[in-house]
Amino acid sequence: MDFTHIDKNGNAIMVDISDKDITDRVAVASGYIKLNEEIISSIKNMSNKKGDVLSVARIAGIMAVKNTSSAIPLCHTLLINKCKVDFKIDEQNYTVKSTCTVSCTGKTGVEMEALHGVSIALLTIYDMCKAIDKSMVIYDIHLDEKSGGKSGDYHAR
């Protein structure tokens, strides 16, 4: 079996993308955090003692996207064209959905960047709200879609 990230001696390597075509690439990832009513209220009313939860989480998600190659060892460093982190509060189900959209023009995709961005945004919500309740649950982080590159388009079912 040929491994893409291991050389003939079993050493970890970064994949050589020298011969890949430069294409426009976009990835969208999302995930959720389950909260309680008090936390939802503190987020909506901006009454959390640590400050504006979603603004801080948005910045954290964007920073995560920009630093994905520092956190995931074999990811390439990319020049990001655009990054957007959004949130949707669902008061009935006590959840916040985070969506991270990333685009670049390059030789490798931005799926890991989008997944990393949404993960850190949700972790930041947890960090900002843990003084209220530590039983929050982060779940269902996944790739929604991606376009560009050799493997073409992907849309989650």
Annotated binding residues: 74-76, 112-113
Q: Which residues are annotated as a binding site for substrate?
A: 74-76, 112-113
Start-to-end CA distance of the chain, whole Å, equals 30
Helix/strand/coil for 60: helix
Q: Which amino acid is at 13?
A: I
Of 16, 52, 86, 127, the active-site residue reads 127
19 carries an active-site annotation: no
Q: CA 45, CA 101: separation in Å to the nearest integer?
A: 26
107 contacts 126 by C-beta, under 8 angstroms: no
**Active-site residues: which are they?**
127
